[in-house]
Chain A
Amino acid sequence: MTNFPPGTFAPAPGQGRLSRMLLTQARTEFVLTLRNGEQVLLTLLIPLGMLVGLTMLNVVPVPSPRVNNITPRILALAVMSTAFTGQAIALGFDRRYGVLKRLAATALPRWSLVVGRMLAVLGVVLVRLVVLGAVALLLGWHPEPAGVAPAALLILAGTAAFGALGVLLGGTLRAEVVLAVANTVWLVLVVAGGIVLSVHALPGPFAAIVTALPSGALAEGLNTTLVTSVTPWDTLGVLLAWAAGAAVLAARTLRLS
């Protein structure tokens, strides 16, 4: 009847170790993101080009020394590109390819589908920040030492906010629509969302709106902290509010396929 020796497929079900499942999932998604050419372009090469370009060329009015004022904004850009744009697009296509359903059919708990993703995103953000930070140091960047720890907190909160927004977008719409929306939002926020241009350079009511956006909050927060070592804690509050709101919505709207 069958060429397989008896007992080959004898049932022996059971759930794998939770920590191992979660870390394997996060590691897989981390490695996949680092390997993906479009992701590298979006989340590393473009920020890197902007870091070098905006530091060397006087195209945007920036206080001197330029590198000190530009680097924090580029770090914010890397966080946004990785946690929001790149992650949303990846999630959209992962859903298209049925991977969420595939994983949801295993013993992996449902919450770890998202938690594993966020761990992977955090890992990628760290890699990007290390590379960008190293290049900035070569360009002469001197961050205020007292601002580094608060900056790390802001980056964590920013990753959470953009990550949750990315899940909200990538977890509900069709892959092509996610791609279009995520890239458009990225472009709008880079230009007018407080990333490249300081909110102080924007007209009054517009500045107030941008300050309340996660892009504006993260860029301003990092900039103020790393340049003056005075931490604007209200920007941390803005990021945490976005993170909480988007996470609650995303948990309700996430679709497996």
Chain B
Amino acid sequence: MTPPAPSAAVEVRGLIRSFGAVRAVDGLDLRIQPATVLALLGPNGAGKTTTVEVCEGFQRPDAGVVRVLGLDPIADGAALRPRIGVMPQGGGAYPGVRAAEMLGLVAVCAARPLDVGWLLDVLGLTGVARVPYKRLSGGQQQRLALACALVGRPEVVFLDEPTAGMDPQARRLVWDIIRGLCADGVSVLFTTHLMEEAEALADQVVIIDHGRVVARGSPAELTSAGTERQLRFGARPGLELGPLCTALPEGCRASEPRPGGYLVEGLIDPQVMATVTAWCAQQGVFAEDLRVSRRSLEDVFLELTGRELRP
């Protein structure tokens, strides 16, 4: 295989990782450009955590190439670990350790760590700095885990479900931090179940299921892909749709699903919009509540991964 281009912060090609008979990751490709954010989406058991743990050097790939900052996470682990920040799923600390002690310990492992007191303050943990880890709330444990991932001033950050169990305020704070990281040149890979989160933060969204990529692209690309876009408007009921259907381009259909509510389905481009408004002018009606609906990322996700519950 050709060596991966060193410019990528994270490069994964043809990754396969099995547990017994189950292929958790089945031929996965990923590429994260420096100073960008990638969101890894997928139902439970899709292979998100396995993918992240392979990148972190915790699991050995059965096949494929994995490079983080051009380094092999296992063979070059000692050289790589000081350069990456890791937030494992569910955090990680001694049950009895105080929040400040734990962050202090992780900070000592870095050459030029962020100020521990400042970081606790930013993450709203100053008030619980002396509280043992097992007595922190789930959200506080998550924030401490995030602090541990950031304190060493890493170049690449892996966050496995960083906002799980957090209240909306804490979630906004985490979003703000991820944007700050990206603005300062840090590359971020995070996993999430929240479509809103992926749409808000990610330059690139990768949706995986059964260990395979089922869709990838920017949030805008993913939600505008396909022909399921719809144009809706309201007008006087019972308008003559024949001339509109004739005027619309191939593949577009117009209908009146309920009296006074009109729907145009197909690839809605500016030309279609002009055709619709011209027809309205001909009919002497004013189109009310005219709107083009895009699919949400959640629609895309459910469409690709199905609606049945996962174990």
The judgment on whether A and B are partners is yes
> In the complex, are the beta carbons of A105 and B81 less than 8 A apart?
yes
CB distance from A129 to the nearest CB of B (A): 23
Complex-state Cα separation, A15 to B83, whole angstroms: 8
- Number of interchain pairs (Cβ within 8 Å): 133
* Given A13-B110, A15-B109, A107-B82, CB of A2 within 8 Å of CB of B179: yes
B124 within 8 A of A: no
> In the complex, are the beta carbons of B88 and A102 less than 8 A apart?
yes
- Name B155's closest neighbour in chain A (CB-CB): A11
> In the complex, are the beta carbons of A32 and B97 less than 8 A apart?
yes
* Given A13-B82, A13-B155, A28-B105, CB of A36 within 8 Å of CB of B110: no
Residues from chain B with a CB closer than 8 A to the CB of A106 are 81-82, 106, 109-110, 152
Complex-state Cα separation, A28 to B102, whole angstroms: 8
Residues from chain A with a CB closer than 8 A to the CB of B152 are 13, 106-107
Residues from chain A with a CB closer than 8 A to the CB of B113 are 16
* Given A2-B180, A13-B110, CB of A93 within 8 Å of CB of B154: no
User: Which listed residue (B81, B91, B153, B176) contacts A10, Cβ 8 A?
Assistant: B153
> In the complex, are the beta carbons of B93 and A105 less than 8 A apart?
no
Residues from chain A with a CB closer than 8 A to the CB of B106 are 102-103, 106
* Residue of A8, A14, A102 ringed by the most chain B CB atoms within 10 A: A102
- 0/1 interface trace, chain B 93-133, chain A, CB 8 Å (1 if under): 11111000100111011111110000000000000000001
- 0/1 interface trace, chain B 67-96, chain A, CB 8 Å (1 if under): 000000000001001111010101111111
Residues from chain A with a CB closer than 8 A to the CB of B101 are 28, 31
B302 within 8 A of A: no
Complex-state Cα separation, A10 to B186, whole angstroms: 7
User: Which listed residue (B86, B88, B109, B179) contacts A21, Cβ 8 A?
Assistant: B109
* Given A102-B88, A256-B58, CB of A2 within 8 Å of CB of B94: no
> In the complex, are the beta carbons of A99 and B179 less than 8 A apart?
no
B16 within 8 A of A: no
B10 within 8 A of A: no
CB distance from B85 to the nearest CB of A (A): 8
B177 within 8 A of A: yes
Complex-state Cα separation, A131 to B207, whole angstroms: 60
Complex-state Cα separation, A11 to B113, whole angstroms: 10
> Which residues of A from 149 to 201 have beta carbons under 8 Å from B?
none
> In the complex, are the beta carbons of B181 and A109 less than 8 A apart?
no
CB distance from B17 to the nearest CB of A (A): 16
What range describes how many residues of B lie at the interface? 35 or more
A12 within 8 A of B: yes
> In the complex, are the beta carbons of A32 and B96 less than 8 A apart?
yes
Complex-state Cα separation, A10 to B114, whole angstroms: 10
- Name B86's closest neighbour in chain A (CB-CB): A105
> In the complex, are the beta carbons of A97 and B134 less than 8 A apart?
yes
Residues from chain A with a CB closer than 8 A to the CB of B281 are none
> In the complex, are the beta carbons of B155 and A105 less than 8 A apart?
no
User: Which listed residue (A6, A102, A103, A109) contacts B91, Cβ 8 A?
Assistant: A102
- Name B158's closest neighbour in chain A (CB-CB): A105
* Given A97-B95, A102-B148, A105-B86, CB of A1 within 8 Å of CB of B108: no
Interface residues of B (CB under 8 A from A): 56, 58, 78, 81-84, 86, 88, 90-97, 101, 104-106, 108-114, 133-134, 145, 148, 150, 152-155, 176-177, 179-181, 183-186
5 closest Cβ pairs, A-B complex: A14-B111, A102-B92, A98-B92, A4-B180, A105-B86
Not counting A15-B110, A94-B95, A106-B152, a sample of 20 additional A-B residue pairs whose C-beta atoms are within 8 angstroms of each other reads A2-B177, A2-B179, A9-B177, A10-B185, A11-B153, A13-B110, A14-B111, A14-B112, A16-B108, A16-B109, A28-B94, A94-B94, A98-B91, A102-B88, A102-B91, A102-B92, A103-B106, A103-B109, A105-B81, A107-B110
